[in-house]
Structure 1
């Protein structure tokens, strides 16, 4: 074999080896991406450790299933959930002792504006009288203005609170002015972010996020499945 032929074969061999190294590297990268995606999927679907200590709740503390809702009082979709889905959960599961519902703040519309004002006001009401939080929250959604306007002002909130017997509006006004429970609101925000909340309403049933909480069938199935597992 001529020296020229030997050199040609050597070049071909080196090219094949280089191609194999490239293919191997690409394969490793693809495998790493797949593994990372699987790990992230497992993490996102794994139940989150969410407790209701110090949070507004409705229903028995001994209920087998907890439903935790992250909401923004300015969020129009949250209003839909509160009007259409919440009453069904309350009637079918809360009133029968099967489910305890908990509320946490998660500001998305105006986190540095009146979403925070409304969230702080909710905490103020809760700390005045725990039993008055949900009546106040339901009325806040009924009184909800356009999400693009600054409607959740102190004056408007006090007006809404006037329709909830038992709320001390003078103290509520001072509480809002002092931003008294901002720390609690921001803690809710942090808890939500850590749990993967990026929009509202976000609903967790026994720590598992519900894919479409506005769909009644999906929401009820999530609760029924959790109840079956908890037996």
Structure 2
């Protein structure tokens, strides 16, 4: 009697084992994804920290600048001519900076427009830029005049007519007809726009904001604190 060959067992996958294998692969993929995401976040943080520690670059030659171009400390003020806090800076802090640092050749001060308070913030900036282009030294007289004659920030006081009249009252050595024409035609709007576009990359969120040798000043906006930071910068 012939013996029948034993039947080969058919391979039947174990559903439980297959499920565990799928779970293991899924877990590995999730782990890889989380690891990559963590690495990406760390890289972004490192890049951000490096950018913060890296001094900002300013085109000092094109900015309205008071003081020696060779001064070891370069101050940059972001301001709005309608800003009350900027008025305080101009009237109470800047004169002391001039006496102790600017007039002595230790520091220079440059100005960048940040026109965010009202529509006439831009009009005032356009007027100031027009004065600067005609006579760089007259700019700082006009700067002082605009802040000394500043009105309530809630009203639109910086009209072309008023801005020209302020220049006349200050006896600026410029062509007043050209000033009016430059304001009306927005001749220097691109320059003002360029100033405003630099605000976000530099994390400027208000006025006045001060940079000292390219580094954003984060201390108190009082003269003693600013002076201490400048003196520290001078010592290297």
Structure number with larger C-alpha Rg: 2
The equivalent position to 1:222 in structure 2, one of 211, 224, 229, is 229
Q: Distance in 2 between matches of 1:166 and 1:140?
A: 13
Describe the superposition over 1:33-69 as per-residue Cα deviations: whole angstroms up to 9, x where unpaired.
1220221121123111112113221111221111111
Which has the higher mean CA deviation after the structures are superposed, 163-172 or 35-44? 163-172
Q: Is structure 2 residue 134 aligned with structure 1 residue 125?
A: no
Q: Distance in 2 between matches of 1:36 and 1:181?
A: 37
CA drift of 1:27 comes to 3.1
Q: Distance in 1 between matches of 2:62 and 2:27?
A: 61
Counterpart of 1:82 in structure 2 is 90
Task: Output the aligned Cα RMSD.
Answer: 2.7
What is the 5 A alignment of 1:39-54? 39-54=47-62
What is the 5 A alignment of 1:135-174? 135-168=141-174, 169-174=176-181
Structure 1 residues 160 and 213: alpha-carbon distance in aligned structure 2, compared to 1, 3 A threshold: farther
CA drift of 1:73 comes to 0.9
Counterpart of 1:107 in structure 2 is 115
**Contact preservation (8 Å) 1:70, 1:105:** yes
The answer for unaligned runs of 5 or more in structure 2 is 1-13
Q: Distance in 1 between matches of 2:134 and 2:224?
A: 36
Counterpart of 1:3 in structure 2 is none
Q: Distance in 2 between matches of 1:30 and 1:82?
A: 46
CA drift of 1:198 comes to 4.0
CA drift of 1:17 comes to 4.5
Q: Is structure 2 residue 41 aligned with structure 1 residue 33?
A: yes
Q: Is structure 2 residue 186 aligned with structure 1 residue 186?
A: no
CA drift of 1:213 comes to 6.0
What is the 5 A alignment of 1:13-28? 14-28=22-36
TM-score by length of 1: 0.83
Which has the higher mean CA deviation after the structures are superposed, 155-164 or 202-211? 155-164
TM-score by length of 2: 0.81
**Contact preservation (8 Å) 1:45, 1:209:** no
Structure 1 residues 131 and 174: alpha-carbon distance in aligned structure 2, compared to 1, 3 A threshold: same
Q: Distance in 2 between matches of 1:58 and 1:187?
A: 20
**Contact preservation (8 Å) 1:94, 1:100:** yes
Aligned length: 225
**Contact preservation (8 Å) 1:125, 1:167:** no
Q: Distance in 2 between matches of 1:68 and 1:214?
A: 14
